[in-house]
Amino acid sequence: MKRVMPFVAMIKENLEKNGPRVLDLELEFDERAVLIENLVYLTNSLELEQIDVLFASEADDKVKEDCCPGKPFSVFRAEPGVSVSLVNPQPSTGLFTTKVDIRQGDSKDTIVRRLSKVNRLIKDLSRVKLMRYEDPLLGPRRVPVLGQEEYGKLPISSKSVFNINLEEKKVTLADNGFTVDIGDTLVYLIQ
């Protein structure tokens, strides 16, 4: 009953402002279709990792209570991750070492996209080559050799999936049935 009276007041106020069409049971457009159609724009402009558009019936009780047609309900959450250094060994690029969180199930493309949000000098994501050290312990400690930036490193394929262990702050990479520890440093090159 405590929710009915504010709802009636809201409907009455909307009726006075917008006329009898506020009493329609359906909107003139499909809210979900509009959100899905503009998902890329919303994700980029709000600088979010991901947006999930769900029906209220698929959500928890709090969302079901507060959601109604014409007034979508937003839930924001932060996924836990493990911080990894991304190093660019290329000379004279203006690109340096940066920290990026890797989250469970991330792909190469997700990491590159996250890197471009941190480092605004990266404009063309297709030119970024993400690599891991063959030896995750000694690799980051070796002095890079000019002109041999790829030496001692292996490319990360677009099919690879990152897995994290939050307790140990450890990141592994799964690809073609193999799982390898990547250590705490990855390398990115701009081709």
What's the CA gap between 120 and 126, in Å, rounded? 15
The structure's pTM equals 0.69
In the predicted structure, residue 183 carries a pLDDT above the cut 80: yes
Task: List CB contacts of 15: < 8 A, sequence separation 6 or more.
Answer: 22, 23
Token output for 146: 């000019």
pLDDT in tens, 3-24: 677 777 877 887 788 777 766 6
Q: How many CB atoms lie within 10 A of CB 145?
A: 10
What's the CA gap between 91 and 18, in Å, rounded? 62
pLDDT category at 32 given cuts 50, 70, 90 is confident
Most confident of 37-46, 62-71, 126-135: 126-135
pLDDT category at 27 given cuts 50, 70, 90 is low
